[in-house]
Amino acid sequence: MSQLPVSLSINIPFLNNNHALIAQKSLSPDPMLKPDTVNVQYKIKNNTILNIIVNGIDDRVIRVTVNNLLENLKTIIECFETF
């Protein structure tokens, strides 16, 4: 894999560890369409914080990837509220 010089780290707090794990597992299976241009890692910190690290070739790739991640995360959170 080539060097991905631009990175962004996002911390999303959840009410409990179960919600953080569900969000992580829901987002993780989606492979990146162009892994040579963007890479995403998901980690749970302090049991309730989903840490998302996005590395990419430029800020545009990071912006598009994060926008998609946040839309998916919004859907996951809406499901939490419904159930």
Instruction: Kindly list the structural domains of the chain, giving each domain's residue range(s) and its CATH number in brackets, ordered by start.
Output: 6-82 (3.30.310.50)
Give the whole-angstrom CA distance, residue 4 versus residue 23.
Answer: 25
Instruction: For the beta carbon of residue 39, count every other beta carbon within 10 angstroms.
Output: 15
User: Which tokens is 14 given?
Assistant: 């959840």
| Residue 78 pLDDT > 60 | yes
The helix or strand, by DSSP H or E, that contains position 74, with its residue range, turns out to be helix 59-82
Confidence class for position 29, pLDDT limits 50, 70, 90? confident
55-69: per-residue pLDDT in tens? 999 999 999 999 999
42-53: per-residue pLDDT in tens? 999 999 999 999
pTM of this prediction? Answer: 0.88
| Residue 1 pLDDT > 60 | no
Give the whole-angstrom CA distance, residue 12 versus residue 9.
Answer: 10
Q: What pLDDT is attached to residue 2?
A: 57
